[in-house]
Amino acid sequence: MLFDLQGPRKTFVKVIYLGLAILLAGGLVLFGIGSDVNGGLADLFGGGSRGQLQDQVETAEERVEKQPKNPEALAELIGARYSLSGDKDNFNSETGEFSEEGKEQLELAKKNWETYLKLTNDKPDVTAANYAVQVFLGLQDAKGAMQAQELITAQDPNSANYLALMLYALYSGDSLVATGAKQKARELASKDQIDEINQQIKQAEQEIGQRNEQVQKQIQEQFAQQQQNSQGGAPGNPFGGAGVGAGN
């Protein structure tokens, strides 16, 4: 899958996630449908100063400590952590990168989400699930975002949610889910929406197709460079040349 890439490809893949964030924030793909969008996904991060955001996290943590089996308390903590991760000191909007503190808050929010799902029997509040989607995107986990979006869509099956599900499925490389979500997005669209839905589907597929091509090109270039660097070296000899004892 696309986002299982590791090593030298990781930085390049971050650019793709920045592009996905731009798609979400700018409404290029998902947010042209108005009231069909639920939970404020277009607002990537909550407001407030850094101190206020930290206070919100601490207050939510205390509530969870006192009420560990209260899903509402965990949902509040997930949202607070996500908002803190997006503070200007924790998130660089130009590069799409989080600071170490920002990453830590996202990882903690992911753990809170896992506990939350157990308490709610995989039937989360839509707003909490929307926060989870954004947390997974911040962690460069398209599959996690897709799975959270599936829970949202199960509770609120409308064309916009299926369109979001299709996008995350495409990014995670799950063509089966993407195909089914695309079909449902079209089926549930009203007559006034269908042209726009089709346009957004086409745009999403083209955008992701182009990004996939960029990643594949990057991988091929790296592989070619590695092959070039290794030519002439004897097996097991990392320093190149003919090998120890050659020519004697």
Q: Does residue 218 sit within a domain?
A: yes
Q: Is the pLDDT of residue 221 over 80?
A: yes
pLDDT of the residue at 142: 86
pLDDT of the residue at 48: 65
Q: What is the pLDDT of residues 92-141, one digit of tens each?
A: 877 778 899 999 999 999 999 999 999 999 999 999 999 999 899 888 88
- The boundaries of the domain holding residue 186 are 2-228
Q: Mean pLDDT: which of 35-39, 194-198, 209-213 is highest? A: 194-198
Computed on alpha carbons and rounded to an integer, the radius of gyration of the chain in Å comes to 22
Q: Does residue 233 sit within a domain?
A: no
- The enclosing domain of 81 has a CATH number of 1.25.40
pLDDT of the residue at 168: 87
Which among 44, 6, 10, 7 has a CA at the least distance from the CA of 25?
44
Q: What is the pLDDT of residues 155-195, one digit of tens each?
A: 999 988 898 899 888 888 898 999 999 999 999 988 888 88
Mean pLDDT of the chain: 77
pLDDT top residue among 138 and 29: 138
> pLDDT band at residue 237, thresholds of 50, 70 and 90?
very low
**Domain count for the chain:** 1
Query: Do residues 84 and 57 make contact, with C-beta atoms less than 8 angstroms apart?
Result: yes
Q: Does residue 247 sit within a domain?
A: no
Q: Does residue 234 sit within a domain?
A: no
CA–CA dist 148, 150 (Å, integer): 5
Q: Does residue 180 sit within a domain?
A: yes
Q: Which segments of 4-79 are extended strands (E)?
A: none
pLDDT of the residue at 58: 96
Q: Does residue 244 sit within a domain?
A: no
Q: Does residue 245 sit within a domain?
A: no
C-alpha count within 13 angstroms, C-beta hemisphere, residue 211 = 23
Q: Mean pLDDT: which of 14-18, 119-123, 199-203, 228-232 is highest? A: 119-123
> pLDDT band at residue 26, thresholds of 50, 70 and 90?
very low
pLDDT of the residue at 40: 33
Q: What is the pLDDT of residues 41-84, one digit of tens each?
A: 334 445 567 789 999 999 999 999 999 999 999 999 999 999 99
Q: Mean pLDDT: which of 32-36, 44-48, 198-202, 227-231 is highest? A: 198-202
Q: Is the pLDDT of residue 201 over 50?
A: yes
Q: Does residue 243 sit within a domain?
A: no
Q: Which helix (H) or strand (E) holds 189?
A: none
CA–CA dist 115, 130 (Å, integer): 16
Query: Do residues 142 and 126 make contact, with C-beta atoms less than 8 angstroms apart?
Result: no
Per DSSP, the three-state class of 27 is coil
Distances (CA, A) of 29 to 26, 33, 139, 159, 168: 8, 10, 21, 12, 12
